Amino acid sequence: MFSQGQILFGILFAISFIVLAVFANRKDAVLHKKYYKGSLWVLLAFISFIGLIACIKFFLG
C-alpha cells in the first residue's frame, strides 16, 4: 500500500511536527495564561451545547 520511503517520511514528519508544536506551545505558555484565561469555560460550554444537540437528535429523531 505505502512504500517504505513514504512510511519513513510520514513517521519523521509526525515526530518533527509534534516536537515543534510542543516547543512552540512551551514558548508561548506565559502569554496563553495571560490572554486566554477563561477560554476553557467557553470550550466546555461549546462541547456541552453540541452534546445537547446530539442528545436531542438521538432521542427525538
Give the pLDDT confidence of 1-53 residue by residue, as tens digits: 899 999 999 999 999 999 999 999 998 888 888 888 889 999 999 999 999 99
H and E: helices and strands count for the chain: 3, 0
In this prediction, residue 9 carries a pLDDT of 98
In this prediction, residue 29 carries a pLDDT of 87
Which residues constitute the domain of residue 34?
Answer: 4-60
Q: How many domains does the chain have?
A: 1
Q: If residue 21 lies in a helix (H) or strand (E), which one and from where to where?
A: helix 4-27
In this prediction, residue 53 carries a pLDDT of 97
Q: Tell me the whole-structure pTM to 2 decimals.
A: 0.52
